[in-house]
Structure 1
Amino acid sequence: MTTDRPAVLLVDPTFTGAGYKAAARELGFLVVSLYTCDYTAMATDHAEGDDLSLYADNPDHAVRLVTEAELRIRAVVPAMEVSTHFADRIAELLKLPGNDHALATSRRDKAAMRKRAQQAGLSIPEFHVVNSPNEIASAALDIGFPAILKPTLGAGSQGVTLLPDAESLHDLNGLETHDAFDMPINQWLVERYIRGRQFSVNFYSFEGEHRLVDMWEFRQPDDRDYDFPIWDNLQIDASHPDWRRVEQYVREVLDAFGIWRGPSHTEVKCSEDGVYLLEVAARLPGGPMVGTWIEHGGMQPFHAAIRCFLGERPAMFETPVNFSARCGALAIRNDDAPGTLVAIHGLDSVYGLPGVDEVLVTYQPGDHVPVTRDDLTIPVGVYVSGADSDEVIRTLGAIRSQVSLEIKR
């Protein structure tokens, strides 16, 4: 495919990353998409919108394909969690702007992430890396309880398991065997469970300068320990008591992990004794956030990300992002036992509520509904907005008072 027209290489632009294709085309580039694993390459209509689709399972292979096609690649853009580390290495091989390729694995693999954080002097929970389920019990007994078990790869909380006490170690047969990208799980972190508020923090970076977009708090229904954080999510502002220490800590994380350009999503917990890193990723966030930025922040998040990797300073670095509304989201979960969905009661009334931006329904009557343990098993999600936090919280409460799941067990 020899052409004089410049191209952008999008790495795994599937599902929520598909917005990159339209943005690249609007910026005048050929859309060249690289699919790195079966999870993305087998997705329905994954190649829709591509000028050229490439398939490779490692960076060197990808570069060979680009070279053979005689493409004028101007930017390499990581579009999905599964392959952000590939994108960094491809950019390095093509001598294009990117994040520090030497630290790429530490922004993807939680074992490498914890080791890098230790080297940089960042506060993190005590942890052990284990390579077999048989090693989990001894690691947890050494760490102490409560502890939490996490696959070192994957996403969306899939396979994350709270270990509240020694009794919980007696039956680990129900552990997930594959992650959110359908890849085998063969390594885990066992780490100290941090009690406190949990936040997700979203930045864009350009040439090492970091611009905060927004910050969200994961709000829980009670003070019990948890392994799946999504219940109510609320976009917060600088009046929040933890805002400043969280922002400062995440800026240190971005520097320590060599995030020089593009979007990043970092999750932390705040306890009485400090802020602790849960994860950092050099990519756009999931959930309601990108849609919120477009609808209520006047942003073009996909365009801005591509510009960062082109080496062009996005306009958002000149003018702070101002939101016209405060935003939030909730998950209607199945926290009991698995069963067959009979009905979702009260859902019709939700569509007419003021401030409801989007309703997502995963299961239909007759479907098997598992216990909600990760992003993929949320029966109902709702994104909302309002004039301020109080209004958003009221809307979330109104939805919960009206919507319920009827499940036959």
Structure 2
Amino acid sequence: MDPTLNGAGYKAAARDLGFAVVSLYTCEYTATAPDHAAGDDLSYYAGEPEEAVHAVTEAGLDLRAVVPAMEVSTHIADRIAELLDLPGNEHALAGSRRNKAAMRERARHAGLRIPEFHLVHALDEIAPAAHDIGFPAILKPTSGAGSQGVTLIPDAEALRDLGGLETHDAFDMPITEWLVERYIRGRQISANYYSFAGEHRLVDMWEFRQPDDRDYDFPIWDNMQIDDGHPEWHKVDGYVREVLDAYGIERGPSHTEVKCSDGEVYLLEVAARLPGGPMVGMWTEHSALRPYHDSIRCFLGERPAMFEAPLTFDARCGAIAIRNDDEPGTLVAIEGLDAVRELPGIEEVLIGYQPGDQVPVTRDDLTIPLGFYFSGADRDEVLRMLKEIRSRVSLRIERPSGAAR
């Protein structure tokens, strides 16, 4: 289902497992992505589960699994699997694993700890909701991904001009509703699991580390893999297992983000899919996990080998985003890039803009100018590399104010 971007890795894994690659594209964003159908044996386009089922059954295909490859269609995949009587996650809860309003209602029903929130459907509803919640508050579109449209509301003054809010999400779908939530201060952690027949196997956790203690609406700055020596590890593990059960995640990968504050864990979001960012590539490089193969096996109803033995990593992994947190401007140069490329442990360099490009303020995954994925022998080595990379590389941006920094 929508095997584009990070999810395109499913195509090679399916073929490696001996299957034809039948790809279903569900929305305008994925259907028009460049080369989206590369590697397909058959490609279908449908926005509704019933339409998709009709198309593939009319073709006489012997379907063995429905695999959600991208966040935009995880809920549709569950419904299609149910219609075809194939293994999947609890289809009645599929919407709560995708739409954040439904996600919050499910959490409230299940007794999971979440921030106080209001659901609003118009710009003029945001201010009253924020005043009721209290400041700081945070505004989140109920769909989308990658923090696009997420906006910190630090005080009442910030409500005076909301005209610059995003109108479309990361999948180019119109934003029609938002959550206004209480902002939770504390450590933000993502936890990645695989599930099979209701059993949950933890793969790893990552902490979103910030440059200082200011409130934020975009979490990606320094990101590093943590272990069971981290002070929040065991609380997060116990809480996320409750989340996976409450949302009917019974098979396949999942990615859950939480905040830890004053000894409590709060749910930010849960998704029945592989994580984005550095995780999948790092797992493949530094562990025995085969992320795409193991995901497909879960949806085939086959227990993956990773459930039979402890999962270990031969290195500690990290990622870094070099952001533009000042005003927009023209990128003049990326300074120190070659020096960072030569550092031991650098595994991937992600360049979002070239000299001459206009660089916006970094507000989401789509506007990160420069990033690095890397590994080190242990936690101390990863922390050292985070400092080393920031000391060596910088963006030279010419801004309207005349400053180039």
Same fold per TM (> 0.5)?
A: yes
Match of 2:285 among 268, 277, 295: 295
After TM superposition, the score normalised by the length of structure 2 is 0.98
Q: How does 1:109-188 map to 2 (within 5 A)?
A: 109-188=99-178
The reply on whether 1:50 has 2:40 as its aligned counterpart is yes
Partners in 2 of 1:81 and 1:198 — Cα distance? 20
Q: How does 1:233-248 map to 2 (within 5 A)?
A: 233-248=223-238
- Deviations for 1:166-210, whole angstroms, at most 9, x for unmatched residues? 111001111000000000001000000000000000000000000
User: For residue 282 of structure 1, what is the aligned residue in structure 2?
Assistant: 272
- Report how far residue 407 of structure 1 moved: 0.8
Letter in 2 for 1:87: A
- Deviations for 1:340-366, whole angstroms, at most 9, x for unmatched residues? 100010011011001111110010000
User: For residue 5 of structure 1, what is the aligned residue in structure 2?
Assistant: none
SS in 1 for 2:67: strand
Partners in 2 of 1:191 and 1:15 — Cα distance? 30
Identical amino acids, percent of aligned pairs: 76
Letter in 2 for 1:354: P
Match of 1:231 among 221, 229, 239: 221
User: For residue 360 of structure 1, what is the aligned residue in structure 2?
Assistant: 350
Q: Structure 1 pair 299/273, CA: closer, same or farther in 2 (3 Å)? A: closer
User: For residue 102 of structure 1, what is the aligned residue in structure 2?
Assistant: 92
Match of 1:200 among 177, 185, 190: 190
Match of 1:305 among 295, 298, 301: 295
The reply on whether 1:13 has 2:41 as its aligned counterpart is no
- Report how far residue 273 of structure 1 moved: 4.3
Letter in 1 for 2:196: F
Partners in 1 of 2:62 and 2:386 — Cα distance? 48
Partners in 1 of 2:267 and 2:56 — Cα distance? 36
- Deviations for 1:64-104, whole angstroms, at most 9, x for unmatched residues? 00111100000000000000000000000000000000000
Letter in 1 for 2:75: H
Partners in 2 of 1:327 and 1:162 — Cα distance? 29
- Deviations for 1:281-312, whole angstroms, at most 9, x for unmatched residues? 00000000000100011211000000000000
Partners in 1 of 2:50 and 2:150 — Cα distance? 32
Partners in 1 of 2:290 and 2:227 — Cα distance? 21
User: For residue 93 of structure 1, what is the aligned residue in structure 2?
Assistant: 83
Partners in 1 of 2:274 and 2:7 — Cα distance? 8
Partners in 2 of 1:47 and 1:135 — Cα distance? 41
After TM superposition, the score normalised by the length of structure 1 is 0.97
SS in 2 for 1:75: coil
CA root-mean-square deviation: 0.5
Partners in 1 of 2:369 and 2:352 — Cα distance? 5
Unpaired runs of 5+ in structure 2? 400-405
Letter in 2 for 1:121: G
User: For residue 264 of structure 1, what is the aligned residue in structure 2?
Assistant: 254
Letter in 2 for 1:392: V
SS in 2 for 1:229: coil
Partners in 1 of 2:93 and 2:263 — Cα distance? 28
Partners in 2 of 1:358 and 1:396 — Cα distance? 14
User: For residue 402 of structure 2, what is the aligned residue in structure 1?
Assistant: none
SS in 2 for 1:278: strand
Partners in 2 of 1:374 and 1:390 — Cα distance? 28
Partners in 1 of 2:196 and 2:288 — Cα distance? 19
SS in 2 for 1:139: helix
SS in 1 for 2:21: strand
Letter in 1 for 2:381: E
SS in 1 for 2:189: strand
Partners in 2 of 1:225 and 1:45 — Cα distance? 39
SS in 2 for 1:293: helix
Runs of 4+ in 1 over 3 A off after TM superposition: none
Partners in 2 of 1:175 and 1:69 — Cα distance? 44
User: For residue 217 of structure 1, what is the aligned residue in structure 2?
Assistant: 207
Partners in 1 of 2:32 and 2:204 — Cα distance? 33
Partners in 2 of 1:357 and 1:25 — Cα distance? 26
Partners in 1 of 2:41 and 2:58 — Cα distance? 16
Letter in 2 for 1:39: Y
SS in 1 for 2:257: strand
Partners in 2 of 1:331 and 1:117 — Cα distance? 31
- Deviations for 1:205-252, whole angstroms, at most 9, x for unmatched residues? 000000000000000000000000000001000000100000000000
Partners in 1 of 2:131 and 2:396 — Cα distance? 39
SS in 1 for 2:219: coil
Letter in 1 for 2:111: G
SS in 2 for 1:245: helix
Match of 1:381 among 346, 368, 371: 371
Match of 1:62 among 36, 40, 52: 52
